[in-house]
Amino acid sequence: MLDGTTVVHDLQRLRDEGHLSDALLRNAVKQINKSDPRFDWVGVYLFNEEKNELWLHNYVGAPTEHAKIPVGTGVCGTAVAEKANQIVNDVTEAENYLACNPDVRSEMVVLIRAGDQIFGQIDIDSSDEAAFTEDDEKEISAIGDKLAEQIAAERR
């Protein structure tokens, strides 16, 4: 089971050592992926405000053809458009689902943001239906908040 506090502490250690957001994002993706066997694909998309789309930063799992996702498209794009995390218990019932792997049954998207400013998102797929809980969302949100802190600091 994912322990968001441990990941947040590791991310803070990396910040303290002078690492930039690129390293923190990669570290977070790897730690989230290995933390729970329900998590089959874990990736980070960064929000390109100018183009109004999400760009795949890095991921662990099967390759995806969705390297760029327009805001409002798919579960990822919907999260940004609605400024809200998304948990889809059964992707086969989601009209806006962008299929990239036929084995995926559920998806969770948690925004990386500071206040109203969205920097990106953490996207997690599972081959289990209804794989994600509110506790998972809470743990991933804490990680997203720490990542947002770093990204915001770099953009000042």
Q: What is the DSSP letter of 154?
A: H
Classify domain 4-155 at the CATH class level.
alpha beta
Kindly list the distances between the CA atom of residue 55 and the CA atoms of 3, 19, 35, 66, 76, in Å, as whole numbers in the listed order.
Answer: 27, 21, 24, 9, 11
pTM: 0.96
* Cα 48-51-54 angle, rounded to 5 deg: 45
pLDDT tens for each residue of the chain, 156 residues long: 889 999 999 999 999 999 999 999 999 999 999 999 999 999 999 999 999 999 999 999 999 999 999 999 999 999 999 999 999 999 888 877 777 777 899 999 999 999 999 999 999 999 999 999 999 999 999 999 999 999 999 998
Domain definitions of the chain by residue range? 4-155
